[in-house]
Chains A and B, each alone.
Chain A
Amino acid sequence: MWSCLKVNSCPCKEGPLCGIRQGGPLVKSYHFKAGERPECYLEHVMFCIEEWHSIAARFTKPIVHRFASTFKLKPNDDLERDIKWALTLSIINHDVGKLTLEYQTGKWYRHELLGAYIVRKIFNECFDKEKPYFELLRDITAASVYLHHEALQLSRGWRGLRSPTLDYLMSKVSEFNFTFKAELKSAFNTLNEYGGLTVCYELPNNIEGKDLVRQLGEMISALDGSHNPGAVRLVIALMLLPLTIIDDKAAKKGRG
């Protein structure tokens, strides 16, 4: 019998997304096989938030300093607050691409592409556009979400491909159409609130693959075409580090 590992703290307990009485999670965190523990998406994100609170202090300052030196800025409280917000956003929403009807019904696509797109959209709606680093911080955060399974992609053969390039994935995803149902949209809002993040963005009902490709194309151009792509990639790698550590630890807890 499946039991929830976050039964005492889950904000969705006994709600329409709660799987305790249904014998399994209603919002899947991954496509599990026989013998694997079905992990609930809500459980996974809550574990991530918990882990993030325990390591945030250790990771934030070095990232702030690296970001500041890369973009010729002076580190200050304001910048630190913004970067911490961006990190928290990426951690809570790194798997948001799994909240689609398509993923929940078993369709194959790389959810990181959609996650990066949504994180970029959240930035557009919720971040102060007057700040000079708005676009670069947005794109770096989105890139870290896109890359959070990079090692996985490089080491596994997906559908006969040893390592699908982003070019390949983007061309394939361009004809997709992603659907968000109302109850899954509410999971997005609840989890951001649970993580202490005020997000003034509503998930849309549909996201077209063509729009996703255009947005991610802009993201890649802005980062690779920036003044120092090598240094920018280092900032992305630094933001990626806590995300992958947390994701890994949370998955171990949730999947056993």
Chain B
Amino acid sequence: MGNVYVVKSTGDLLTDALCCLGIFELALKVDPFIKGSCTLGRAEILRLKTEITKQDFEVKLLGELMELSRDPAIQDILSFRVNTGRRDKKFVPAHEILANSVKKIIGGLKEESFKPLLKAKKKDLETFYMSINPIYGKGLRKYDKAMDGLSEAGTPEIITAYLVGLALHTIKWEEREEKTTKRVHLLVTPPIGSEVNENYLKALRRLSILYSTEDAYAYFRSLENVPRSVLPVVVLAYFDFSLLSVMSNIPPHLMVFDVEEERGGGQASRLYKSFSTNAFFSFFMRLGADVHEVKEYIKSLVRARRRNEARSLIDSILIDLSGAIANGDAMRFNKALYASFSIEERLKEDLKKYVKLEKLRSKVAGKAVACLLRT
């Protein structure tokens, strides 16, 4: 493998993560045999090795990017509105931002284009709108600092790679409150500081393909307004056993952020959080042959959230489960199980079918508790 393509950090973890996943997506289409490594949190975040010459590789990456930006499936995913703040065209769909940014890339997706984001107005930089990347924009980096008036900006290469990652590697769902609608994005990334290879990135890619299935869509829609602390356990319950085994040596991180669509001062984010999944991976892997039943149990609880009658009760069970696994607290796990068993009595007949508890009654529950006691 003669040629190396190196992507440097933009100075923002979320942007780095989505750019890495987006570029790897394109690179794999250019060279199906590509090798590489990704280390978030370092100066060099992605290193790809290919037989194709660097210049050719950059041109082909752009070709794939152009094709992808025209893909109706991508346009559909990126159909949410972006607040540009412009008087002439305040709201545009995100795929239009992608298409416009792609047009501004000249000669190829050059590795030098990946550089730190700036709060500045420059000819070669594009505004990184808050509706896309919720961390910066005109928002404040310091809690009580005054607005500085300049928006965050990045090269078109960064914005397009980010949007490809956002479209293909995040699970998106909407949450409604009284007067606002939130768009929540959740992504699974390599952990900060750990080097992962192309096979790990392929596993993340497989995960993103699993998200796009009908079953996953229904499952993640059930996560509406779920307490954030339970996200690791409910997301990992959706991982199949092969993903758990491939990633168990380097458990990934979860990142979640939201964008509120309506509020007086324009779109803004109220949520940005990163979760470690180490404790949850360790728990699931220790369950061994019983992992299937425990995953089914957690998935059943999530599915049962679809009915409002039981939502708060189920959320409290999920909070207990999550806390029990994160802290190795067997008592709390037992409490969650006990509450789950009581659901059968407290819920109406038609809700019972969602919660599969039969198999947890005996040895599986015992094994799960034993796994927690060992942590």
Query: Could you say which residues of chain B place their CB within 8 Å of the CB of A218?
Result: 199, 246
**Binary CB contact string for chain A from 183 to 220 against chain B (1 if under 8 A, 0 otherwise):** 00000000000000000000000000000011011101
Of the residues A216, A224, A227, contact of B29 by C-beta under 8 Å: A227
Q: Taking the complex as formed, is B241 at the interface, i.e. its CB lies under 8 A from any CB of chain A?
A: yes
Q: What are 14 inter-chain pairs, A to B, with CB distance below 8 A?
A: A166-B240, A167-B240, A171-B288, A171-B291, A171-B292, A174-B289, A213-B241, A225-B201, A225-B202, A225-B204, A225-B206, A227-B29, A228-B32, A229-B209
**Do residues B245 and A222 form an inter-chain contact, with CB atoms below 8 A?**
no
Query: Could you say which residues of chain B place their CB within 8 Å of the CB of A165?
Result: 240
Contact status of A220 and B288, CB under 8 A, knowing A132-B51, A226-B28? no
**Binary CB contact string for chain A from 59 to 101 against chain B (1 if under 8 A, 0 otherwise):** 0000000000011100000000000000000000000000000
A165 CA / B244 CA spacing, docked (Å):
15
Query: Could you say which residues of chain A place their CB within 8 Å of the CB of B74?
Result: none
Q: Taking the complex as formed, is A175 at the interface, i.e. its CB lies under 8 A from any CB of chain B?
A: yes
**Do residues A168 and B292 form an inter-chain contact, with CB atoms below 8 A?**
yes
A70 CA / B28 CA spacing, docked (Å):
12
Q: Taking the complex as formed, is B6 at the interface, i.e. its CB lies under 8 A from any CB of chain A?
A: no
Query: Could you say which residues of chain B place their CB within 8 Å of the CB of A224?
Result: 206, 209
Q: Taking the complex as formed, is B365 at the interface, i.e. its CB lies under 8 A from any CB of chain A?
A: no
Of the residues A72, A133, A221, A228, contact of B242 by C-beta under 8 Å: A221
A243 CA / B304 CA spacing, docked (Å):
43
A121 to chain B, nearest CB (A): 17
**Do residues A174 and B246 form an inter-chain contact, with CB atoms below 8 A?**
no
**Do residues B32 and A72 form an inter-chain contact, with CB atoms below 8 A?**
yes
**Do residues B202 and A167 form an inter-chain contact, with CB atoms below 8 A?**
no
- Chain A-chain B contacts (Cβ-Cβ < 8 Å), number: 81
Q: Taking the complex as formed, is A245 at the interface, i.e. its CB lies under 8 A from any CB of chain B?
A: no
**Do residues A171 and B289 form an inter-chain contact, with CB atoms below 8 A?**
yes
Contact status of A175 and B209, CB under 8 A, knowing A213-B241, A221-B242? no
Interface residues on A, range: 20 to 34
A224 CA / B212 CA spacing, docked (Å):
13
Query: Could you say which residues of chain A place their CB within 8 Å of the CB of B289?
Result: 171-172, 174-175
B191 to chain A, nearest CB (A): 17
Q: Taking the complex as formed, is B33 at the interface, i.e. its CB lies under 8 A from any CB of chain A?
A: yes
Query: Could you say which residues of chain A place their CB within 8 Å of the CB of B246?
Result: 214, 217-218, 221
B248's closest neighbor in chain A, by CB?
A: A214
B165 to chain A, nearest CB (A): 15
**Do residues B242 and A217 form an inter-chain contact, with CB atoms below 8 A?**
yes
Q: Taking the complex as formed, is A136 at the interface, i.e. its CB lies under 8 A from any CB of chain B?
A: yes
**Do residues B245 and A213 form an inter-chain contact, with CB atoms below 8 A?**
yes
Contact status of A217 and B202, CB under 8 A, knowing A171-B292, A175-B289? no
**Do residues B288 and A226 form an inter-chain contact, with CB atoms below 8 A?**
no
**Do residues B51 and A167 form an inter-chain contact, with CB atoms below 8 A?**
no
Q: Taking the complex as formed, is A170 at the interface, i.e. its CB lies under 8 A from any CB of chain B?
A: yes
Q: Taking the complex as formed, is B356 at the interface, i.e. its CB lies under 8 A from any CB of chain A?
A: no
**Do residues A214 and B203 form an inter-chain contact, with CB atoms below 8 A?**
no
**Do residues A132 and B33 form an inter-chain contact, with CB atoms below 8 A?**
yes
Chain A residues in the interface with B (C-beta under 8 A): 70-72, 132-133, 136, 165-168, 170-172, 174-175, 213-214, 216-218, 220-222, 224-229
**Do residues A167 and B241 form an inter-chain contact, with CB atoms below 8 A?**
yes
A110 to chain B, nearest CB (A): 14
B296's closest neighbor in chain A, by CB?
A: A168
Q: Taking the complex as formed, is B185 at the interface, i.e. its CB lies under 8 A from any CB of chain A?
A: no
Which residues, 27 to 51 on B, are CB-close (under 8 Å) to A? 28-29, 31-33, 51
A155 to chain B, nearest CB (A): 21
Q: Taking the complex as formed, is B339 at the interface, i.e. its CB lies under 8 A from any CB of chain A?
A: no
Q: Taking the complex as formed, is B115 at the interface, i.e. its CB lies under 8 A from any CB of chain A?
A: no
**Do residues A213 and B242 form an inter-chain contact, with CB atoms below 8 A?**
yes
**Do residues A170 and B242 form an inter-chain contact, with CB atoms below 8 A?**
yes
Query: Could you say which residues of chain A place their CB within 8 Å of the CB of B240?
Result: 165-167, 170
A144 to chain B, nearest CB (A): 17
B28's closest neighbor in chain A, by CB?
A: A227
**Do residues B209 and A71 form an inter-chain contact, with CB atoms below 8 A?**
no
Contact status of A220 and B29, CB under 8 A, knowing A171-B291, A174-B289? no
A132 CA / B34 CA spacing, docked (Å):
9
Query: Could you say which residues of chain B place their CB within 8 Å of the CB of A216?
Result: 242
Query: Could you say which residues of chain A place their CB within 8 Å of the CB of B288?
Result: 171, 174-175
A226 CA / B198 CA spacing, docked (Å):
10
B201's closest neighbor in chain A, by CB?
A: A225
A221 CA / B246 CA spacing, docked (Å):
8
**Binary CB contact string for chain B from 82 to 98 against chain A (1 if under 8 A, 0 otherwise):** 00000000000000000
Query: Could you say which residues of chain A place their CB within 8 Å of the CB of B203?
Result: 221, 225
Of the residues A217, A222, A228, contact of B241 by C-beta under 8 Å: A217
Query: Could you say which residues of chain A place their CB within 8 Å of the CB of B291?
Result: 171
**Binary CB contact string for chain B from 324 to 339 against chain A (1 if under 8 A, 0 otherwise):** 0000000000000000
Query: Could you say which residues of chain B place their CB within 8 Å of the CB of A222?
Result: 199, 202
B197 to chain A, nearest CB (A): 11
Query: Could you say which residues of chain B place their CB within 8 Å of the CB of A166?
Result: 240-242
A216's closest neighbor in chain B, by CB?
A: B242
Q: Taking the complex as formed, is B253 at the interface, i.e. its CB lies under 8 A from any CB of chain A?
A: no
Which residues, 171 to 212 on B, are CB-close (under 8 Å) to A? 199, 201-206, 209
A169's closest neighbor in chain B, by CB?
A: B241
